[in-house]
Amino acid sequence: MEIERPNQPPLTAADLEHLKKLEDLLKKSVADGVITSAELDAIKVQIAANGKVMIEELDLVRQFIREKVQRGELVIDFFN
């Protein structure tokens, strides 16, 4: 299902760079199949780094964390 956002302004070069950094961090954080609370904190810091939460950021988190947890491919370790 394609979701359209006609009123959303185009992403700037800074936005794209920010998204790339977040994606790289997410890939690194989930690579071992376990995501720790420290990694989750680092992800939150990266999301907040540009002073706004973009829909694209939430899509990346859904793709790299939520969906993998639901499929049993990723475990969240809150104690590390």
The answer to the question of residue 68 being in a domain is: yes
The answer to the question of residue 34 being in a domain is: yes
Positions of the chain with pLDDT under 50: none
The answer to the question of residue 2 being in a domain is: no
**Count of CB atoms situated within 10 Å of the CB of 26:** 21
Predicted pLDDT of residue 27: 97
| Residue 35: DSSP 8-state | E
Token reading at 24: 């790289």
The answer to the question of residue 5 being in a domain is: no
Predicted pLDDT of residue 1: 59
The answer to the question of residue 35 being in a domain is: yes
Domain span at residue 72 reads 13-77
The answer to the question of residue 8 being in a domain is: no
Residue 26 contacts residue 64 (beta carbons within 8 Å): yes
pTM over 0.85: yes
Predicted pLDDT of residue 79: 82
- In angstroms, the first-to-last Cα distance of the chain is 37
**pLDDT tens-digit series, residues 30-51:** 999 999 999 999 999 999 999 9
- Please tell me the total count of domains within the chain: 1
Predicted pLDDT of residue 78: 83
The answer to the question of residue 71 being in a domain is: yes
CA dist 2 and 40 (Å) reads 28
The answer to the question of residue 4 being in a domain is: no
CA dist 53 and 57 (Å) reads 7
